[in-house]
Structure 1
Amino acid sequence: MHRAYQSVLPCSSKYLQQKWDKAVYEEHWKKVQAAKPVVDTSAPPTYGHLLLKLKKLELEKDRLSIIERDNRLLLEKMSFIMRTTGRIDNKNDYEPKSLNRRKREQELLRITKENYAILERITKCQPQYKVQKWNEDWHKAEEYMNSIARYPRRLCKSRNQKKQKYNKKTPKRKKQKAKRLNDGCLTDKSERKEREDTNNENENQKNQSENQEGKV
């Protein structure tokens, strides 16, 4: 009973109602399939003259024909030249000529003459500065400095020379030792004795240098 057709509306015969409903459904389905849309969504029509472009093809064909004709003419000319000597003499046996060669030579000659004249003036030019006069001026300046200076300049020079000689003669170890003694780093008796000896030697050297300067 549950498999029997159940109609929506009440009916006297379920079999006939099922048959009629089926016929209505099939008719409706056919109408739906055959229905046409209100909006046209199909592709636009294609035109042959837009796809082929016959004018462009014709122009391309004409261009290719012109190129082919030119190539054929060029090939004929080349074959004629290869078979014969040709109509044009392409041998360049003439000497190169210049229209302004003479002018350029004259200009070069003028420049060389000017350079030679400048060189001659430079070589014959006498110097304007005199070395002898410079030496005389320097001696005068030294005399002025000696007269103005508080202490004689020659004495300072001699002391500087002696100091340089002493620095050259004394070795590096003695210099370091003297520096340590002056700084007061040694505290032992032997070190104190060495310090006294070095001080005495320095005093003797000073006295000798003063005596020599007094004699001079």
Structure 2
Amino acid sequence: MQHLAYQPLLPTGNKYLQQKWDKASYDLHRRKLEEEWTMKIQRENNMLMEKISHIMRTTGGVDNKNYCDRKSLGKEKRQLELLRITKENQMILFRLSQCRPHYSVRSWHEDWLKTLKVMDSIARYPRGRAKQQTEQDKPNKQISGCEKEQKISTDATTHSPASSKTNGKTGSEKNEKKKETGKKQDTATEIQQDTDTHPVP
């Protein structure tokens, strides 16, 4: 009953016979394809066997080796250019090593001394006083504890009424001394600011 469901490509009078004929031609076609496929596989296998046997008989060298040397067309030109550049660099280095300095340090020093003289003439207070003041203040800061106690004791004796009588100093004289010391401190701070704005080289 399968022949009834079969749909032939061409119109036929008997579907059953047409199915048998088509099936026979299809089977023949398949056998031919399989024979070609097996022949191809056999041929490739034979080639592989020959290659393997050749490798086993010989050292097995690669047959695609290229014995040609790689040559560059611009190699000589590049080498000549490199030699020229190195010679020019050596000449420039020789010139730089042989040349003398254009500026003189002595003239710069003389100009700096002149500027210092001008700064001293323009300044309100003489230069260098601030350094002397700081050098004098440094030893006073490094006083030991015993000296501090002695100072306190001497201050206590001077502030006592008996000592004030013996010394014969009045309160007005002390106030004047305090004012003078305050003025000295103000001048010292101004000198320090002047040296900070115009440092000594």
Coarse TM-score class (shorter-chain normalised):
0.3 to 0.5
Q: TM-score, normalised by structure 2?
A: 0.44
Higher relative contact order (CA 8 A, sep 6+): 2
- With the length of structure 1 as denominator, give the TM-score of the two structures: 0.42
